[in-house]
Amino acid sequence: MPIAKGEPDTRAIAQSLLAAFPDALATPSGNVYKLSNGNTIRLQVSEPPYALLALSMLRTGGGSKSELRVSLYAPVPKELLGGESENIRYELLWRSGQERFIGIEIHESESPNGDIRETSRKEILPQEASPKVLEKLKELTAEAWRDKLEKENWTGRYLTENIQTLLIKMRLAARLYPEYGLPEFNDEDMELILNELTDGIFLLRDINEDRYRNIVEDYFGKSMLAWLQKTFPDHYVLPNGKRARYSYQEVATADEQSSGKIVQSADGVLVEISARIEDFMQLRGEHKIADGKLKVRYDILAPNFRTIQKTWDLTSFWQNTYAEVRKELRGRYPKHPWPEKVM
């Protein structure tokens, strides 16, 4: 029951009780009232007050259906809380079953002494939010996805092997053709691309390879993609008509410095061309791409397509190493050609 209302003293009584029992203040949260400890109170009266001081409470029901009901309360008018400033802020909440973020609208009040307490919160589906609230939620998406992708190790959803190869080619293009003013795809560039991928996105299914590729290609310049493919190809047509495959991979520069051997085509990058030994037999010397600016290492494969030798110079291989390779493999693969001399 409410404390009886004395005409002139209602405000003064409520103010005194509020000062004496600040933890008993319950503020509106939907169709219930919420205490500072998070407990909710249901009040069934014909004219519910804006807020109330719950001076005596009973828990009714049992199990998951139990709830607090007040047996003694003091109504608190809204103007009595006028010394508190209300703030609304938004957060994103991950729903794993739906693989998406939803919004949370949180109402907080700050007292004159600086104490902040949450008065209410509610879930908001982005598709049901007002344009103004939707913009607020979209502002949170890039940071939320950055944390989520790192925590769950989900970068492979968009940063696939094909995309990594594309990025290596684009970085090589910027390095070997500085006159074109191409983006370097450094840390700052990659941060901008990730922000564009995740900005305003709530569904995990939209964080994918196709969208990421489109953003990367736009950033590089789609008008330059045909040139990029010609300059840094995926395949090479061999003299016998078969195709050898190029691979582009990042390597540690420390490997070359410690071993004294050349293990990279350009700083931090190794390009290889792979084919079976019999398909390379008409080739000699070194192999280069990108207008002769980039050396390519030969990855010579056995008939079972496993690497048997790597070299930067086929002429040297045919002259100095082939005889030993032939001796080892011709007995295992007698149906394949093994001429005594290639040169």
Domain spans in the chain, listed from the N-terminal domain onward:
10-81, 85-152, 156-230, 233-329
Check if the beta carbon of residue 58 is closer than 8 Å to that of residue 35.
no
Region label for 60, one of left (φ > 0), alpha (ψ between -120 and 50) or beta (otherwise)? beta
Contacts of 302 (CB under 8 A, 6+ apart): 276, 277, 308, 329, 333
Q: Which structure tokens are listed for 80?
A: 């009595």
Dihedral over Cα of 141, 144, 146, 152: its sign: negative
Residues in the chain: 343
Q: Over the range 26-42, which residues count as b (16 or more CB within 10 Å of their CB) and which as e?
A: bbbbeeebbbeeeeebe
What is the C-alpha to C-alpha distance for residues 169 and 165, in angstroms, rounded to an integer?
A: 6
Check if the beta carbon of residue 295 is closer than 8 Å to that of residue 287.
yes
pLDDT at 221 over 60: yes
Nearest to 29 by CA among 47, 11, 15, 42: 42
What is the C-alpha to C-alpha distance for residues 51 and 74, in angstroms, rounded to an integer?
A: 9
* Burial (CB count <10 Å: 0-12, 13-18, 19+), residue 293: middle
> What letter does residue 4 receive in the DSSP assignment?
P
pLDDT at 113: 62
pLDDT at 63 over 90: no
Average pLDDT, the chain: 89
Tens of pLDDT, residue by residue over 15-53, are 888 888 888 888 877 778 888 787 888 888 888 888 889
Q: How many CB atoms lie within 10 A of CB 220?
A: 21
What is the C-alpha to C-alpha distance for residues 308 and 316, in angstroms, rounded to an integer?
A: 15
According to DSSP, the β-strands at 269-276 and 294-301 are parallel
Rounded to whole angstroms, what are the CA distances from 67 to 40, 60, 170, 209? 8, 6, 62, 48
pLDDT at 83 over 80: no
Instruction: Between 74 and 99, name the one with better pLDDT.
Output: 99
What is the C-alpha to C-alpha distance for residues 207 and 204, in angstroms, rounded to an integer?
A: 5
- Which residue intervals of 95-186 are DSSP H helices? 131-152, 161-176
What are the two backbone dihedrals, phi and then psi, of residue 137, each rounded to the nearest 5 degrees?
Answer: -70, -40
Tens of pLDDT, residue by residue over 158-182, are 999 999 999 999 999 999 999 999 9
pLDDT at 261 over 70: no
Q: So what's the architecture of 10-81 in CATH?
A: Beta Barrel (2.40)
Q: To 5 degrees, how large is the angle CA 244–CA 250–CA 255? A: 110
Report the percent of the chain where pLDDT is more than 90: 63
Which of the four pLDDT bands, split at 50, 70 and 90, describes residue 215?
very high
Task: Name the percent of the chain in helix, strand, coil, to the closest 5.
Answer: 40, 30, 35
pLDDT at 257 over 60: no
Rounded to whole angstroms, what are the CA distances from 102 to 93, 98, 128, 246? 5, 10, 10, 44
Residues paired with 93 in a beta bridge: 102
pTM confidence score: 0.73
Which of the four pLDDT bands, split at 50, 70 and 90, describes residue 112?
low
